[in-house]
A and B are shown apart, each in its own frame.
Chain A
């Protein structure tokens, strides 16, 4: 049982480049989340989804896009990367009726 997987583990981007952070869960969870964690700061919610085809903005959505075509996958797209997007990105999932979130290992992104 892999839980929540994220790829890549680490990436360096140049300013203006784009990339997609992948997130997959195999627990059949309806809810999925994308967070960013800046050094010394709490996690901030970027986007979340309550099921396939349904996504909504979190606290810091600017500069990001998401899609949820299947229950398992919740990719996060960065368009026109900026140094302010240098962060560690975590994907998480939870099931209906349970508040416990299961986290992926994170993707460390450096924008130079």
Chain B
């Protein structure tokens, strides 16, 4: 079983919809990153969080360390949000990141 599982693997939605991407992990972590990989391949960090909730524009990330679960929400989705969203928890034991396989999001106009 993978140490990090993201769901769904693929998500297609209409412009304006509220989007939720989930990340579950099975190891002890001290923080978790969310990143965005553009269709051209470029990777950009979105959030790093260790508890609670963070918001940046239309993006909201939450984490529940006890339940080993994090979510990334996108409000008022737009076609430019189409990308792969990657969850990467930071392993407690050696501080290295464990990379999820990503959720491919397509927002249709």
* Docked complex: B23-41 residues within 8 A CB-CB of A: 31, 33, 40-41
**A43 lies within 8 A of chain B by Cβ:** yes
Write the A41-70 contact mask toward B (1 if CB under 8 angstroms, else 0).
111110000000000001100000000000
How far is A102 from B97 in the complex, measured between Cα atoms in Å?
A: 14
**B101 and A99 contact, CB distance less than 8 A:** no
**A97 lies within 8 A of chain B by Cβ:** no
How far is A58 from B99 in the complex, measured between Cα atoms in Å?
A: 13
Q: In the complex, which residues of chain B have a beta carbon less than 8 angstroms from the beta carbon of A105? A: 40-42
> Interface residues of A toward B: which range?
10 to 19
Question: Which listed residue (B48, B90, B96) contacts A100, Cβ 8 A?
Answer: B48
**A88 and B48 contact, CB distance less than 8 A:** no
Question: Which listed residue (A42, A58, A106) contacts B86, Cβ 8 A?
Answer: A42
**B31 and A99 contact, CB distance less than 8 A:** yes
How many pairs of A and B residues are in contact by the CB < 8 Å rule?
Answer: 39
* Docked complex: B77-109 residues within 8 A CB-CB of A: 86, 88, 90, 96-102
**A45 and B97 contact, CB distance less than 8 A:** yes
> Interface residues of B toward A: which range?
20 to 34
How far is A88 from B102 in the complex, measured between Cα atoms in Å?
A: 15
**A44 and B42 contact, CB distance less than 8 A:** no
Taking the closest CB of chain A, its distance from the CB of B100, in whole angstroms, is: 5
**A103 lies within 8 A of chain B by Cβ:** yes
- Please give 6 more A-B residue pairs, beta carbons under 8 A apart, in addition to A44-B99, A101-B33: A41-B101, A42-B100, A43-B86, A43-B88, A100-B48, A102-B45
A: residues with CB less than 8 A from B are: 35, 40-45, 58-59, 88, 90, 92, 99-103, 105-106
B: residues with CB less than 8 A from A are: 4, 31, 33, 40-45, 48, 86, 88, 90, 96-102
